[in-house]
Homo-oligomer: A and B are copies of this chain.
């Protein structure tokens, strides 16, 4: 039976070289896999045949191959297999609806750019509490019932105050005034987590198998074992709890291909980076659910903590009840201007990142194909010349056939040069692993963070609008002074939180981009140095001929 593969990335083939142009998600019939040098021969749905780069496609099962499967759909397949264990059955009775969300989620991100992530939109449970009823004091609703502002209870919180009774498990979170503006107060006991040793484990007599990662937090030093779905659960908790905090989605859930080990390693690295960002965040790191996730070793306690987290009522807008902002009141006009500046920044950032991603993607692709071929062509032409020079049989009366020493040495030097350029071609092929791919992964991670911006901006915009509406109503005597002041005070909490988070983001951004540029440039330098060394070795062969 004909094998099939699915196209992972667009590839613009050079027809002259017998290549086929292919498009993401197309399913191709594989004609030959032994073409060599990373190329397969394949046939596209229109019946055209040609060479395609092996790295741009992945094998599919016969029964899957017949219909094109979108990336969205494919993201669930692996973890699905592992999902029906005891832990998940209980979970399905709780308010935990991540599973469902994930399937129904659409591409997220700004401007329709989803950064290659299956980043689910945050979907908040409707917090239809008594506060909602109390908002009847305001004659009209300022935001759509279905907006994130409404859904997370933002309107209810602003207009009605703290609807939740009792203490939040996270205690009070303070925002302090720093030189560069408001900051989240750093708590003592910062920690990091090391994720290591992914192990394939199984249950139900081997029918179900899954990967368990060993997570060791620096504060306890005690290792805990966590599966991807546990991380996913954690993500859901954080995302629904911290409305104005950037909680980037987890790395892609992907169908594991032939490179299962490499895939697991890569996912682990991505989880590590995600975890680093979460533990380092001054609000998320010390949160109750994070501590539970990183430190709980006992199964019974785990389940208790899990249920507690799922029942946490101080999420969405209710979270702001526990924030203690700086004492000063904020000026609405200043807030609005800064809000607009940040909005402009996110839009510009969005498009710059999209441009770099495209450039890097194209450039990376060229390393795999055209660049490698270019240098190998050069190498081959030198090797061919060396083959010709092997025919140097000097005519002489005795008919002796050996060419003189210097001719033999030149031929050897040319052969060496040919080999050198072949190797340079291979270095080009390998190079993206060291510079472009890490850069791409980094930008993907940022893409995930950026997918949180629209909700943040939306939430804060409606906060400001609500404040302005209340002031207007007060001026029109439709709202009394104290009530309007109370709304403003609560709005200030949200604005301070927004400021603190934006400032936190910018500080991280500067650090992160500095880091990735250093990584990238160092690898570029290393690369060009390695070419120089190779060429110097080749040159030496000719210099030796002088001796």
Contact = CB atoms under 8 A, between A and B. Distances in A.
Given A395-B342, A397-B328, A506-B394, A524 B518 contact: no
Interface string A335-371: 1011101101100110111011001101100100000
Q: Tell me what chain A mostly uses at the interface: helix, strand, loop, or mixed.
A: helix
Quick one: copies of this chain in the complex? 2
A263 interface: no
A48 interface: no
A330 B397 contact: yes
A410 interface: yes
B542 A514 contact: yes
B545 A521 contact: no
A331 B396 contact: no
Interface residues of A, number: 84
Interface in A377-426: 377-378, 380-382, 384-385, 387-389, 391-399, 403-404, 406-407, 410, 413-414, 417
Interface stretch (A91-99, A290-298, A526-534): A526-534
A542 B403 CA distance: 56
B539 A522 contact: yes
26 contacts: A180-B404, A181-B394, A328-B397, A338-B399, A341-B391, A342-B393, A342-B395, A345-B393, A349-B391, A351-B384, A355-B384, A356-B384, A359-B378, A394-B502, A396-B499, A397-B499, A403-B506, A413-B517, A414-B513, A417-B517, A514-B542, A517-B542, A518-B539, A518-B542, A528-B532, A532-B532
Given A328-B397, A406-B510, A414-B517, 20 more contacts: A182-B395, A326-B397, A331-B397, A337-B399, A338-B393, A349-B388, A352-B384, A356-B382, A356-B385, A360-B378, A385-B513, A392-B506, A392-B509, A395-B498, A395-B503, A518-B543, A521-B535, A521-B538, A521-B539, A529-B532
